[in-house]
Structure 1
Amino acid sequence: MTAEYCSHHNNGNQVAKRISIAIVGFLIVCAIVILLVWAILHPSKPKFLLQDVTVYGFNLTAPNMLTSNLQITLASRNPNRRIGIYYRKLDVFASYHNQQITLPTLLPRTYQGHRDITLWSPILYGNAVPVAPFLEAALTGDMNGGGGLVMLDIKVFGKVKWKVGSWISGRYQINVHCPAYISFSDRIMGFQVSSSMKYHLLQTCKVDISR
């Protein structure tokens, strides 16, 4: 009986090992298939375009305080034919010389199908945001001289996921930088909208995707 028990025990262990090997092999095959599909499809980065900026307020007050109120129109296009894009937790804000001058505005979560275009029109505002003295001097110089041209940077930071069929990837970091050239002197490139100024820019943005 002892020998028969050991024989059954050994057979049970062998069956368990075979099942484990089969499961691991199946998972490896699935991973290889996903990697092959991913490599063949090779997703392209979304294309971002800053279409326009409407300036409702942009005032520099002492000591070193900047109040700004802007509305932008931002377009995103998915260039992929077989890959969808999930946008997760996208924050957009304006900066000047790498200093953030508005609060981050959260864009709604969005799924973008193959070659679809998405438009957002968030309002960006910052009330009495302190800026460094050298930035105040630079901003004053830009607004009062050199054609009154101020270069702002509209930034978008967040997470994206790729969708291939029913498979969804892990999260990737997306960083978008859109230069916005605003004139505060003779109002070139802009036109009056009530008490605000609207600038049609059609500015291509730089997009970086990382893990």
Structure 2
Amino acid sequence: MTAKDCGHHHHHDERRKLYRLLFACFLIFVIVVLFIIFLVWAILRPTKPRFILQDATVYAFNVSPPNFLTSNLQVTVSSRNPNSRIGIYYDKLDVYATYRSQQITLPTLVPANYQGHKDVNVWSPFLCGNAVPVAPYLAAALSQDEMAGMVLINIKIDGRVRWKVGTFISGRYHLYANCPAYISFGNRNNGIVVGPAIKYQLVQSCHVDV
């Protein structure tokens, strides 16, 4: 074997050792970063926000022939950040109403805002759906529910949130909340009469997924 061949193999071995060293350093760096993220997450223990449906004011809720539903209501929803070290950015929140899994109002956009540690935000969006076509069986079910004196309307919140820890801000996470609203029909004494509308005090916890 010539000296030239020996030199070639020597440089090849050094290059392989360098690649292995770089890969090992990269692997250690990734492990350290992941460990730090896990450690911070374990110490801070981020908890998803808690939503409560405070009340619902019903201005209109009726079915017209053949199968059109008109809904006009205002709801008050509060959100509490239970975290003592984590802030929450609400980048986008759409609020709308559903009846038996069918959307019956247009989504109302809540302005983007920031929620500090242990803070509470309150929103009171109007939800409107004029002459929304519904399936015939839904119209029949609604008539039965109104005759029974109780209608379950679900107030849903769909949006994007980010977490803030110190100066670090996470990526966007999908937030989904479902707030059941049991509306009593037939007896105006079940609510507070506000002009042509009836306001129902609910204070109902919402199911939240993030």
Please give the per-residue CA displacement for 1:150-187, whole angstroms capped at 9, x wherever unaligned.
Answer: 11000011111111111222222211111111112012
Name the counterpart of 2:124: 121
- TM-score, length-scaled by structure 1: 0.85
Is 1:42 matched up with 2:45?
A: yes
What residue ranges of structure 1 are gaps of 5+ in the alignment?
1-9
Match of 1:110 among 99, 110, 113: 113
Partner of 2:54: 51
Counterpart in the other structure of 1:101: 104
The Cα shift of 1:82 comes to 0.9
Shift of residue 26, structure 1, vs aligned partner: 4.5
Question: In structure 1, how many angstroms separate the alpha carbons of the residues matched to 2:88 and 2:190?
Answer: 33
- Answering whether residue 67 of structure 2 is matched by residue 64 of structure 1, we say yes
Aligned partner letter, 2:113: T
- Is 68-77 or 104-113 further displaced after alignment? 104-113
Amino acid at match of 2:162: K
Query: 2:7 is matched with which residue?
Result: none
Pairwise CA distance, 1:34:
1.9
The CA deviation at 1:32 is 2.1
Q: Looking at CA atoms only, which structure, 1 or 2, has the larger radius of gyration?
A: 2
SS of residue in 2 equivalent to 1:138: helix
Q: Is residue 31 from structure 1 mapped to residue 34 from structure 2 by the alignment?
A: yes
Write the distance in 2 (CA, Å) between the matches of 1:121 and 1:203: 15
Match for residue 199 of structure 2? 198
What does residue 176 of structure 1 align with? 177
Aligned residue in 2 for 1:3 = none
Q: Per-residue displacement from partner, 1:73-123 (whole Å, max 9, x unpaired)?
A: 000000111111111221110000000000011111121111100011110
Superposition CA RMSD, Å: 2.4
| Contact 1:94-1:124 at 8 Å conserved across structures | yes
After TM superposition, the score normalised by the length of structure 2 is 0.86
Aligned to 1:167: 168
Q: Percent identity?
A: 56
Whether contact under 8 Å (1:189, 1:200) holds in the other structure is: no
Please name the residue that 1:156 is paired with.
Answer: 157
Q: Distance in 2 between matches of 1:82 and 1:44?
A: 10
Structure 2 regions of 5+ residues with no counterpart? Answer: 1-12
Deviation >4 Å, runs of 4+ = 10-28
- The amino acid across from 2:183 in the alignment is I
